[in-house]
Amino acid sequence: MSARFISERAPGGEARAAVSVPSSALRFELRPRFGARSKSFFSTLNTMLPALLLAVLPIQGRDADAEDPRPNFVVVYVDDVGYGDLACYGNPVTRTPNLDRFAEEGMLFTSCYAGASRCSPSRAVLLTGRASYRTGVYDILSNVASDIEMVEEENTIAELLRGTGYSTAHFGKWHLTQKRNGDSAALKHGFDVTVFENLGLDLADRFEEWLEGREDKDRPFFAYLALNECHEPVEKRSPPEYQKLYEGTEEKAKEIRYPKRRPRAKWQNRNIYYGCVSEMDASFGRFLAALEAAGERENTFIYFSSDNGPARLSMNAWGSSGKHRGGKNNLYEGGIRVPGLIQWPGHLAPGAVSDEAIHAFDVLPTICEIAGVELPEDRPIDGTSLVPLLNGRAFEREQPLFWARWSTPDGPHCAIREGDWKLLGVYRPLDKDLTVVEYLRTVDFESFKLFNVADDPGERKELSEEHAEVFASMQATMREKHSAVMRDAPDKDLKNYRYKAGNDNASRFKKRDLDRETGGS
């Protein structure tokens, strides 16, 4: 087991050095904590009447001489967990009683979207409320992309809340700053404390300890809990006790829809993945129990989601996109549509289900509105506050949902969604080597495809000829949005990550590819 690293902001605001704690000092909890399995209600979603939502109480500003009445915020972002991986989203095998119960007591979104189809960009979107290109995160941080990271000038949820009296803490994965900048990078983006753990159950221990040990308990808090589950190496996050829960489920597992193109996945490894899902669920249950023990559960807004769809290239790649096409790394629904759950006791009626499309970049403006914190005026925010939706009022967007990934290996580079319509676009190849920023500011689109993802979540029926006006309008919107994002993107000289002349993914976007990947057991 790896050591944990805890960094704290010094009283003067400077980051203290990270402290390494030997692995032997850590508590390791493997005992499954399951009660009776919650009944999945996914099959009834289309027939349920919209639940009545309770009015959101007005939020008062903080009184310096009294306990701050504003709510706490907990954002739980898991890794590579697909839309169809939870029982409450229809998985017939996985056991996720804590998340199922959480859904039944809160609000479940059937059209929740990650910020991107890969890790780093998705996390940048979540924390800033802005498209990833605006933040300098043009792709996943890696040894190949050694120049890429989120610029320090970005405002995160933590920075905005901390500036108005919130205590802030980051637990788990960061993946927004290069390793050469140290383990305390989160402290430069508004967090008072940053804690690293590889296993969700260990992270739950650290979260509980932080809640119990806070010296500023009169202040509300924002906690960002970023689990590594269910990213590879999955086997290191799937204790045997959890794998045993799935003995004898082979026939039931055949009911789960998986893409045909899953080249390395071994059928005998499926219980390793399922066990990891259940360990993640147990960790989430521990987070809730810690809040309850601290007396904070009833005054805490909690958002749960995933950074992208399920991986498809590893031996343990048994995550499910549900009925959606694709997975991690591409902009089809399976790569970006993910579980999304919200709970706010006393403010949301339990059992609510929403088909409204929401996006990771909506989290920042939502939290800011609830906390009474003004949004930055010196930069565009791509997200929209969900408070009207949560409050049962009319909800409208002024901007489309937006995703872009220039280096995607198997499909479109850009996607937007407006209402039920989704447009996918492929960049036109250029004939010269450029920096990524130069390329993205120069490139135009070569081809597009239009889908109605409400009627066709599998994106099998292309509708550009049947709906020519919608098709033309959304092309213009995509070009306008993409250009606006790139005008705001940091002018970074990414010497180690460049566009190579003639790079062409458009051929992968032809209809024969669309027809070939239809999924199946």
CB 78 within 8 A of CB 310: no
Closest CA to 475 of 466, 464, 491: 464
112 catalytic residue (yes or no)? no
Q: Where is 211: in which H helix or E strand?
A: helix 200-213
Helix count and strand count (H, E) for the chain: 14, 17
What 8-state DSSP symbol labels residue 155?
P
Distance CA(160)–CA(302), nearest Å, equals 18
Catalytic residue among 170, 175, 359, 413: 175
How far the first Cα of the chain sits from its last, in Å, is: 35
CA dihedral (51, 397, 418, 111) positive or negative = negative
Kind of pairing, strands 434-435 and 498-499? antiparallel
Catalytic residue among 119, 230, 276, 368: 119
What 8-state DSSP symbol labels residue 353?
E
- Three-state SS string over 460-490 comes to CCCCCCCCHHHHHHHHHHHHHHHHHHHHHCC
Distance CA(479)–CA(425), nearest Å, equals 10
Q: Is 445 helix (H, G, I), strand (E, B) or coil?
A: strand
85-97 as b/e: b if 16+ CB within 10 A: bbbbbbbebbbbb
CB 405 within 8 A of CB 121: yes
Closest CA to 402 of 331, 454, 334: 331
175 catalytic residue (yes or no)? yes
CB 314 within 8 A of CB 264: yes
**Residues in Cβ contact with 46 at an 8 Å cutoff, skipping those fewer than 6 apart:** none
User: Which residue is listed with tokens 């949301």?
Assistant: 348
Rounded (to 5) percent helix, strand, coil in the chain: 30, 15, 50
Q: Where is 450: in which H helix or E strand?
A: strand 445-452
Tokens representing 438 are 């130069």
Which active-site residues does the annotation give?
119, 175
